[in-house]
Amino acid sequence: MTPAFEALQKELKRLPGVGFRSAERMAIHLLLEKPEAAKRLSDAILSASERVRSCSTCGNVCEEERCSICEDVRREESGSLCVVEHVSDLMAIEKSGAYRGRYHVLHGKLSPINGVGPESLNLSGIAKRVKDEGVTEVILALPNDVEGEATCHYLTELVESDSVEVSRIGFGLPSGASVLYADSGTLKSALDARKRY
């Protein structure tokens, strides 16, 4: 391998979910099989890094001061604010079409063991948003793990009041999954989140 190839492979490997072999295949594809694709990718990355920023209101990605979701006044009608860990979580919920309200992206979750405290997250404006935007429900769409639970507890203490209800998304079996293959934590969550049929 050449030093330039190895440098590209090393940078590709830093991407989430990309291992050594995947990075190697991508580098070969970009440099040897589709060299014009490498130029387009390079231009797109450079353009996005110069233009894309974090929404000043919710933390979503945007090219202006505020994202299109925060600019959409129809989103305010729901009275709800969905709190997510990452922008990718917001995108997944949007793609589902199941929620049409406002969001707040934390860009992480509390993890004292890893040195992630409240000051490391996008928490500074959430209590003000709840008050100023007339939010009546805060939906916590955070991971079902120890750090997610700690973050949910912290947020509940921060925003819950007589006029603001805090709820958590349900966890359980995905569509088409068998009870036989589910772990005990998933089964407990599924049973706890059950609904009348």
Residue 185 pLDDT: 81
Give 86-132 pLDDT, tens digit per residue. Answer: 999 999 999 999 899 999 999 999 998 999 999 999 998 899 999 99
CB atoms under 10 Å from CB of 34, counted, come to: 13
Would you state the structure tokens that stand for residue 81, as one six-digit string? 């604010």
Residues 6+ apart with CB under 8 A from 9: 1, 20, 23, 24, 27
Residue 197 pLDDT: 63
Confidence class for position 171, pLDDT limits 50, 70, 90:
confident
Q: How far apart are CA 65 and CA 111, in angstroms?
A: 29
Q: Which domains does the chain have, with CATH numbers?
A: 3-50 (1.10.8.420), 77-168 (3.40.1360.10)
Does pLDDT of 196 surpass 80? no
Dihedrals phi, psi of 135, to nearest 5 degrees: -70, 130
